[in-house]
Amino acid sequence: MASGVLAGRSHSVCMVSDFFYPNMGGVESHVYQLSQCLIERGHKVLVVTHAYGCRKGVRYLTNGLKVYYLPLKVMYNQSTATTLFHSLPLLRYIFVRERVTVVHAHSSFSAMAHDALFHAKTMGLRTVFTDHSLFGFADVSSVLTNKLLTVSLCDTNHIICVSYTSKENTVLRAALDPRIVSVIPNAVDPTDFTPDPSRRDDSTVTIVVVSRLVYRKGIDLLSGIIPELCQKYPELHFLIGGEGPKRIVLEEVRERYQLHDRVRLLGALEHQDVRNVLVQGHIFLNTSLTEAFCMAIVEAASCGLQVVSTRVGGIPEVLPESLIILCEPSVKSLCHGLEKAIAQLRSGTLPSPETVHNKVKTFYTWRNVAERTEKVYDRVADEVVLPMDERLDRLMSHCGPVTGCIFALFAVLNFLFLTFLRWMTPDYIIDVAIDATGPKSAWTKQYFLGKKGRVKEQPPSSKNAQMERKEHISC
């Protein structure tokens, strides 16, 4: 498969994000899956993130995906502290030794991603940024982050958003030219989310909710829906997976209406358990108040559930109308939508889980995402990186007189720092890292030994495994 698609250019991509495994979440799996599919397409990919506990140094994952866990201080919510400068020596060293051509930063919450963009632009590398979240415009924190985003993105080569709503949001927040913003949705692994109708109890109707129990996910709406529908339909059951500060609200509702046997709160779920919860239900309910691209409803639809969701953010783009019932974010409208779904279920007009699964599985695949991302890289590779003077001009004209000037000064300082580092350790002193990526990597080749011995006898992964084990000891 790899040789067939190798026709295009091969890029050396460095994914930078504060969020990567062993932390769990949407951005983490996005980075991992995208990297794997890009490796499959013949590119060299490495991931740079910060150290998680004792997991620091260099690690190798499947297919030789190299991960650098840099020892940077974590400030808040797994995001590193930023001074704009302190990460330059290490990042520069990595960019040089890996011969990186494209720096791809992920998530606007990640300080490290913004730092990497800043340094990459100083070093004259091409930059791509993927935004995974929606922001408001009104409160103080979003005004500040929007300003930072404007600064960070004004001279970035290309920006990727996960949905059209997210694109609109990002373009407005960061005052961007919409032509340099592409939309590439997320994907799900359809083999992880297969339907299993035998697991559900057809004598009842089960509504599944899987989300973090926070305000943003509309848990207050859910607490209004539960008593109303439970009174109307005696055979209705709720299955709620997830943990969060709003759990107490749901527990109160359960207590007040004596619904202990019909509303089950499962608490926090591991990613691999989500499918087992989903297949137990008939209807999936999503009550989010804001969402850039809702992975949960795709996963639910892939498991063959009828999806009922609020019409907010990028959700209307995600699934075709036949697979989803969209409602306004109010208790009344959501109840109406659920009643409609229950009526359809009873009359048997819903398509079977298998047909839904087969339909959904073609929508969002990682291979497709990788293909489209590759096009972005190809396009970016042809563009020129702004030289220093134009970059300063852009910063000052684009980001307002005060912020613009401050960050232009930072850019100059960063450049001076880089010049100093280049004087201290010139690029030719830095060893080029051995390319371990992909099926044709150095680990499978006869790289170290000219003779026919050991390397051939060992399975290709054993060297990595040794290194992996070694690091376990050292920490």
Give φ, ψ of 240 to 5 degrees. -120, 120
Q: Which window, 135-143, 150-158, 344-352, 422-430, contacts another protein (CB under 8 A)?
A: 422-430
Question: What residues between 83 and 112 interact with another protein by CB under 8 A?
Answer: 89-90, 93-94, 97
For residue 66, the Cα-to-chain-centroid distance in whole angstroms is: 18
Measured CA distances, 419 to 74, 82, 426, 439 (Å): 27, 21, 10, 37
- CA 104/CA 129 separation, integer angstroms: 6
- CA 411/CA 85 separation, integer angstroms: 10
Among 20, 32, 68, 238, the residue binding another protein under the rule CB under 8 A is 68
Nearer residue to another protein within complex by CB, 94 or 149: 94
Element (H, E) at 284: strand 283-286
Residues in binding contact with another protein, number by CB under 8 A = 30
- CA 125/CA 100 separation, integer angstroms: 8
Element (H, E) at 79: strand 79-80
- CA 363/CA 107 separation, integer angstroms: 23
Nearer residue to another protein within complex by CB, 419 or 425: 425
Question: What residues between 456 and 475 interact with another protein by CB under 8 A?
Answer: 463, 466-467, 469-470, 473-474
CA end-to-end distance (rounded Å), the chain: 38
Q: Which window, 147-155, 289-297, 396-404, 425-433, contacts another protein (CB under 8 A)?
A: 425-433
- CA 3/CA 288 separation, integer angstroms: 42
- CA 408/CA 392 separation, integer angstroms: 5
Cross-strand partners of 74: 80
Query: Closest distance between another protein and the C-beta of residue 67, in Å?
Result: 11
Q: Is 16 in the site for another protein (CB under 8 A)?
A: no
Among 57, 244, 316, 351, the residue binding another protein under the rule CB under 8 A is 57
Q: Is 426 in the site for another protein (CB under 8 A)?
A: yes
Among 53, 71, 234, 348, the residue binding another protein under the rule CB under 8 A is 71
Looking at residue 204, the DSSP 8-state letter turns out to be S
Q: Which window, 25-33, 67-75, 319-327, 346-354, contacts another protein (CB under 8 A)?
A: 67-75
Q: Which window, 122-130, 344-352, 396-404, 443-451, contacts another protein (CB under 8 A)?
A: 443-451
Looking at residue 326, the DSSP 8-state letter turns out to be E
Among 136, 320, 387, 453, the residue binding another protein under the rule CB under 8 A is 453
Q: Which window, 66-74, 189-197, 359-367, 376-384, contacts another protein (CB under 8 A)?
A: 66-74
- CA 338/CA 44 separation, integer angstroms: 47
Nearer residue to another protein within complex by CB, 4 or 71: 71
Residues that bind another protein (CB under 8 A): 56-58, 68, 70-71, 89-90, 93-94, 97, 425-426, 429, 431, 433-434, 448-451, 453-454, 463, 466-467, 469-470, 473-474
